[in-house]
Amino acid sequence: MFIIVGMYIFFMAEGITCRPIANCKNSKQNGYLITDCRNYKGQTLNSIPGNLMPEVQILKLQENRIAKLTNSSFDIYPNIKELLLSDNVLHTIKPGSLSVLNELELLDLSG
Protein backbone atom coordinates (compact mmCIF):
# COMPACT_ATOMS: atom_id res chain seq x y z
CA MET A 1 0.00 0.00 0.00
CA PHE A 2 2.76 2.46 0.96
CA ILE A 3 4.71 1.62 -2.19
CA ILE A 4 1.73 2.37 -4.42
CA VAL A 5 1.01 5.67 -2.66
CA GLY A 6 4.70 6.60 -2.81
CA MET A 7 4.88 5.86 -6.53
CA TYR A 8 1.73 7.90 -7.15
CA ILE A 9 3.18 10.88 -5.27
CA PHE A 10 6.49 10.53 -7.17
CA PHE A 11 4.82 10.47 -10.57
CA MET A 12 2.57 13.40 -9.71
CA ALA A 13 5.53 15.42 -8.41
CA GLU A 14 7.53 14.68 -11.56
CA GLY A 15 4.61 15.62 -13.79
CA ILE A 16 4.59 12.18 -15.36
CA THR A 17 1.23 11.09 -16.65
CA CYS A 18 0.19 7.56 -17.38
CA ARG A 19 -1.75 6.61 -20.47
CA PRO A 20 -5.23 5.27 -19.80
CA ILE A 21 -6.00 1.58 -20.17
CA ALA A 22 -8.74 0.99 -22.71
CA ASN A 23 -10.98 -1.95 -23.41
CA CYS A 24 -11.11 -1.83 -27.19
CA LYS A 25 -12.18 -4.27 -29.87
CA ASN A 26 -9.53 -5.61 -32.26
CA SER A 27 -10.28 -7.08 -35.66
CA LYS A 28 -8.62 -7.69 -38.99
CA GLN A 29 -10.23 -6.58 -42.24
CA ASN A 30 -8.68 -6.59 -45.73
CA GLY A 31 -5.33 -7.34 -44.11
CA TYR A 32 -5.46 -4.30 -41.80
CA LEU A 33 -5.36 -4.52 -38.00
CA ILE A 34 -8.24 -2.37 -36.71
CA THR A 35 -8.61 -1.21 -33.12
CA ASP A 36 -12.02 0.23 -32.29
CA CYS A 37 -12.19 2.36 -29.13
CA ARG A 38 -15.34 4.29 -30.05
CA ASN A 39 -17.00 4.83 -26.69
CA TYR A 40 -16.66 1.05 -26.35
CA LYS A 41 -18.90 -0.52 -23.68
CA GLY A 42 -19.62 2.88 -22.20
CA GLN A 43 -15.99 3.81 -21.57
CA THR A 44 -15.03 7.35 -22.48
CA LEU A 45 -11.37 8.04 -23.13
CA ASN A 46 -9.78 11.36 -22.20
CA SER A 47 -6.48 10.64 -23.95
CA ILE A 48 -4.83 8.14 -26.28
CA PRO A 49 -4.70 4.72 -24.57
CA GLY A 50 -1.38 3.06 -23.84
CA ASN A 51 -2.36 -0.59 -24.01
CA LEU A 52 -3.29 -1.02 -27.66
CA MET A 53 -1.54 -3.37 -30.06
CA PRO A 54 1.54 -1.53 -31.40
CA GLU A 55 0.84 -2.92 -34.87
CA VAL A 56 -2.54 -1.17 -35.13
CA GLN A 57 -3.13 0.30 -38.60
CA ILE A 58 -6.65 1.72 -38.29
CA LEU A 59 -7.38 3.39 -34.96
CA LYS A 60 -10.98 4.37 -34.26
CA LEU A 61 -11.26 6.81 -31.36
CA GLN A 62 -14.49 8.59 -32.31
CA GLU A 63 -17.10 9.63 -29.74
CA ASN A 64 -14.73 10.02 -26.79
CA ARG A 65 -13.56 12.99 -24.70
CA ILE A 66 -10.01 13.28 -26.04
CA ALA A 67 -8.98 16.91 -25.63
CA LYS A 68 -5.27 17.01 -26.42
CA LEU A 69 -2.67 15.31 -28.61
CA THR A 70 0.92 15.49 -27.34
CA ASN A 71 4.31 14.66 -28.82
CA SER A 72 4.08 11.18 -27.32
CA SER A 73 0.43 10.39 -28.08
CA PHE A 74 1.24 7.98 -30.90
CA ASP A 75 4.90 7.14 -30.36
CA ILE A 76 4.14 3.46 -29.74
CA TYR A 77 1.74 3.21 -32.72
CA PRO A 78 3.88 4.17 -35.76
CA ASN A 79 1.96 1.95 -38.22
CA ILE A 80 -1.32 3.89 -38.13
CA LYS A 81 -2.69 4.48 -41.63
CA GLU A 82 -6.13 5.78 -40.59
CA LEU A 83 -6.69 7.82 -37.44
CA LEU A 84 -10.33 8.58 -36.70
CA LEU A 85 -10.81 11.18 -33.96
CA SER A 86 -14.16 12.71 -34.92
CA ASP A 87 -16.63 13.77 -32.22
CA ASN A 88 -14.07 14.36 -29.49
CA VAL A 89 -13.34 17.60 -27.65
CA LEU A 90 -9.93 18.26 -29.21
CA HIS A 91 -8.66 21.72 -28.41
CA THR A 92 -4.88 21.21 -28.49
CA ILE A 93 -2.68 19.45 -31.02
CA LYS A 94 0.95 19.96 -30.03
CA PRO A 95 3.46 20.45 -32.86
CA GLY A 96 4.97 17.10 -33.77
CA SER A 97 2.06 15.10 -32.35
CA LEU A 98 1.56 13.27 -35.63
CA SER A 99 5.16 13.29 -36.87
CA VAL A 100 5.77 9.64 -35.92
CA LEU A 101 2.86 8.57 -38.14
CA ASN A 102 4.81 8.18 -41.38
CA GLU A 103 2.21 5.74 -42.76
CA LEU A 104 -0.78 8.05 -42.09
CA GLU A 105 -3.12 8.33 -45.09
CA LEU A 106 -6.39 9.46 -43.46
CA LEU A 107 -6.96 11.77 -40.48
CA ASP A 108 -10.53 12.56 -39.39
CA LEU A 109 -10.90 15.42 -36.89
CA SER A 110 -14.47 16.34 -37.83
CA GLY A 111 -17.22 17.06 -35.34
Cβ count near 6 (within 10 Å): 10
Kindly list the structural domains of the chain, giving each domain's residue range(s) and its CATH number in brackets, ordered by start: 20-108 (3.80.10.10)
- Is the pTM higher than 0.85? The answer reads no
pLDDT of 6-38, one tens digit each? 444 444 434 444 555 678 999 999 999 999 999
SS (H, E, C) the chain: CHHHHHHHHHHHHHCCCCCCCCCCEEEEECCEEEEECCCHHHCCCCCCCCCCCCCCCEEECCCCCCCEECCCCCCCCCCCCEEECCCCCCCEECCCCCCCCCCCCEEECCC
pLDDT of 90-103, one tens digit each? 999 999 999 999 99
